[in-house]
Chain A
Amino acid sequence: MNRGVKRRKWKRSFPLMILFLPVIAYYVVFKFLPMFGVIMAFQDYNIRKGFLESPFVGFKYFRLIFSTPAILRVIQNTLVLGITRFLIGIPFPILLALMLNEIKRERFKKLSQTCVYLPHFLAWTIVGGMVINLFSQDTGMINGITKFFTGETYPYLYSEGSWLAIYFGSGIWKETGFSAIIYLAALTGVDTELYDAASIDGASRIRQIIHVTIPAIMPTIIINMILSVGSSVNVGFDQIYVLTNATVNNISDVISTYVYRVGLEQMQFSLTSAMGLFQSVLGMTLVLLTNHLAKRADASLW
């Protein structure tokens, strides 16, 4: 009997295995092979010699990273931009979802949802184009308004403070609406009887939101945080690349843009793979750590 079941399992698995072969090939070649490729971070990688023959140099490049102020600066930028962005990005989608949830006029709600989801689907290239279109010093609309009030224009994209504001602001602008969807989904699952009960007890709408709505979506908030904490150190290449310029490079250069510039354009393969490895390990550690903390709070991912 047991053998019969096993044989049937094999028999049914076989065609599936054939379907699955290209998938295995994909993950091996494009995901796992690059993982083994991080060996080059410990080698003096030479493109003609390849992984097998390039000489091993141990932690040489990691020591170089941590003793070069310019590279440390890039790592510091990555952490500062990534973590700040992650933290200030948390409340906005939650607030938006809570507010949308309070709006009972369906047409208004639908229309505003249509507007706030749109930016997510626009490439950073486009958003970068729009930002420059708005803030450009000679033709931008924002500078038109600035000039109207103060009499002169301001180099928003070329001074560090306002560049940071534009960086964080454009991130919030692009992703708030879309991130709110997941909270809206969680909100539809809240038991309406809880509101009725709270209302009978004399709880005002604000108190109902604090004591019923927010606890109900708390697990979703935590899962979302775990999922995005890993990418917080993985500051997106596209956004920085399209928004940056030489004047603000000192604060805007992050690991991904540095790896692109120094790694591919100056062929510093070993040094930049060491930086990439450092970033990957850091990201993974953050996800596992957050998940561990959440587990103790009973809301883990797995």
Chain B
Amino acid sequence: METLTIKDVRKSYGEIEAVKGINFSVEEGEVFGLIGPNGSGKTTTLRMISTLLRLTTGSITVCGRDVAGEPDDVRKVISYLPEDAGAYKGLTGRSYLKFMAGFFADGEEFEKMVQKGMEIADLGDRIDSKIETYSKGMMRRLLIARAIMPSPKIAIMDEVTSGLDVVNAYEIREIIRGIAQKGVTVLLSSHNMFEVDMLCDRIAMINEGRIVLTGTPAELKEQYGAANLEEVFVRAVKE
């Protein structure tokens, strides 16, 4: 069953067309990687799916809900984690999770959601420290927890491990793998081809606003006779 369907989507910023008619779909429980060079239209695409940017033409459907026509309903089933996202620095980690959980639930369900968030963040006593004192890794764990705790149908993550050390990046990949196993659809963008290869069931490569490749990592490596996705990426961009 398709969780996300993108049909002939275009997005223009004035005279600049950032996305030039893209099509792809993501199945339920799939980890789907959207890769491409800087400025290729990845973030624009993720923002359109997340209801942050309006489509110029085309349609995006999330769990059967139209992004342009039913944005409020779409926001109930998605969770978006922007690249280099931050949190309200004056709050503690716990307060931040409570603030965010308040948009999804109340009563007992709310308490459970916050508890779940704290377990995912796994920050120990530091959950009660001000966010401004967190390291980049701690911050990212908190944000991942925020994104996952409401049990979204689809989690959209832009450069989720960018700038993290090996241990933090590994732990976050494990979290993503864990939620995918529980049936959450994940759409992620990354410049780390190793990470994409490890995590993604399927990949779409976008270049200059157009989808130029789609397939599983294995299919793409075979198609290009490449040893790894990095090689596939470089050759696809240069073609």
Are A and B associated in one complex?
A: no
Chain A residues at the B interface, C-beta cutoff of 8 Å = none
